[in-house]
Amino acid sequence: MDSGPTVASVLRRGYTEFADLPAVVDVSGTTTTYAELGRDARLLVTGLRNQGARHGDRIVVLTKNRPECFTLDHALAIGGFVRVALSYRLHPKEIADIVADSGAHIVVVDGERVAEIAGAVGADVTLVNFDGDGPGVPYGSLFGGAEAEPAEVSPADIAWMPYTSGTSGRPKGVIHTHHSLLSIIRNVLVELPGLGDRDVLVHTAPLTHLSGYAMLAGFTRGARQIALGRFEPAEYLRVVQQHRATVLPLVPTMINMLLPVLEAGEADVSSVHTVLYGGSPIAPDRLARAIKLFGPVFVQSYGLTEMPWSSWLSKPDHVFDPDGELPARLGSAGRVSPFIEMRLVTPGGRLAEDGEEGEIQLRGDARMAGYWNLPDETAAAIRDGGWVATGDVGRMSEGYLHVVDRKKDMIVSGGFNVYPAEVENAIYTVPGVAEVAVVGIPDERWGETVHAVVVPRGGATVTRDEIDRACLGTIAAYKRPRSVEFVSELPKTGTGKIMRRAVKERYWQGRARLVNG
């Protein structure tokens, strides 16, 4: 796969095809055209090369959404660098571990976090400080050289390497090449056929996750893009109204938080023709409320970091009779993308029949190339024939995929993934903890919240504050248990293994599925 389009070549084409159109709009009204974006990206490539970055080097990005993110993403692509974009809310230790694992020597970071990151990553890592104050190389100083010549990038080169955890809690770099990333963007564009140069995308969901793919799709069509660093419902809707936004990438928690403001009649969203949501399920009744407010403009996608955007619940799927029963498809993950193959495999290893549950396995050119430096984990995730084992349990009904459970016990809270093992590992550092099981429990606002069930050692006293301190000292704050329960014992298998699933089921009784939104 030595020739063919790349993310870099597609973005470069936009600098001339949409040259005079606005590409990036700051909330203050400052506009950057596509031609100016291309110029700034080439200048930034030179600045990064002057800091020692070379073709194929991993560059860690740690920032809230901000206009500079767009320029940086373009520079990483056309410079042949690898984008390692991390959740801004990760703990400094988690960030340092990923920097070391990826072999990155440059970290681009917001000023408000630069001091703590400097203390965590070591002196051999160059920090680029977006805001200029404090440690690190000021981001603005990287633009003083000449415009760089684009790197010679191959479709097989690594483009993005997001990190995901798993049952062990150890972060893994997920390798997406220029080819697989373009395949993902193609799948997005097929489901959003009207996306064009009159569209305005407002990104408040993290550009490191869901919004990042929508961003690339928008740039291929000449759309203009706005980045918001924090989500506050009233302010977000003010920006949507002011800029006549048309496409809103959101996670279900954000949709839930917008409902009271919209129902109070405090915003005009008539310009919006697409709300693209994913990251976790959404409760059908709340989705129905949102549809009444926005109209049938919703599009949902299901996937995983290893193979995003694999199934789609389309706009027509969101059309229903508001006076009748809610259609079952509103609780589904939609239909499988035409460019993705899917199968459901039962615990016995056979293909599930219609209506029968099985593990969701996916195959297609949007698949990751593997995990960074983890051949055994790659082999376990990518089965014979190229099938990716998702760890999710689903069933098909009338052509729609229903995700009913997570085989890997992952918790999705507010659109962020939390793996029980990494939280349990933190809690086990508390003296006096004998056993712990961490599970996701239903929550009306966040979809799920993290709950810890703890068994103290005989005679020991363990407090909630101790558990909080242990978690906040090693993992991101959003992974900290929002509730803690102390018990005398946990259910176990005959071999003594804690049955996390049995613990979880106590909190989900009476619900049709063990996931929530």
- State pLDDT tens for residues 447-467: 889 999 998 987 788 999 999
- Phi, psi (deg, nearest 5) at residue 107: -125, 120
- Decide: 210 and 217 in contact? Cβ < 8 Å: no
Quote the mean pLDDT of the chain: 91
What separation in angstroms does the CA of 34 have from each of 22, 68, 74, 178, 466? 6, 14, 11, 21, 52
Domain ranges for the chain, please list them: 1-176, 339-406, 411-505
Q: Is the pLDDT of residue 444 over 70?
A: yes
173 Cα distance to chain centroid: 14
Residue ranges with strand state E in 241-313: 247-250, 274-277, 298-304, 307-313
- What does CATH list as the number for 1-176? 3.40.50.12780
Looking at CATH, the fold of the domain delimited by 411-505 is given as: GMP Synthetase; Chain A, domain 3 (3.30.300)
- What does CATH list as the number for 339-406? 2.30.38.10
Structure tokens at 71: 């320029």
Query: Measured between alpha carbons, how far is 463 from 352 in angstroms, rounded to an integer?
Result: 46
Q: Which of 139-143, 257-261, 505-509 is predicted least confidently?
A: 505-509
- State pLDDT tens for residues 65-123: 999 999 999 999 999 999 999 999 899 999 999 999 999 999 999 999 999 999 999 88
3-state secondary structure of 1: coil
Structure tokens at 223: 């759309």
Confidence tier at 514 by pLDDT (50, 70, 90): low
- State pLDDT tens for residues 245-289: 999 999 887 898 899 999 998 899 999 999 999 866 677 777 888
User: Which one, of 249, 245, 242, lies nearest residue 216 by Cα?
Assistant: 249
User: Which one, of 441, 391, 454, 375, lies nearest residue 411 by Cα?
Assistant: 441
Structure tokens at 33: 């055209």
- Decide: 220 and 189 in contact? Cβ < 8 Å: yes
HSE-CB of 352 using CA atoms within 13 angstroms: 20
Specify the residue for token string 């001339």.
16
What separation in angstroms does the CA of 99 have from each of 65, 150, 172, 432, 494? 20, 25, 12, 32, 40
Q: Is the pLDDT of residue 498 over 60?
A: yes
Specify the residue for token string 């376990």.
380
Q: Is the pLDDT of residue 310 over 70?
A: yes
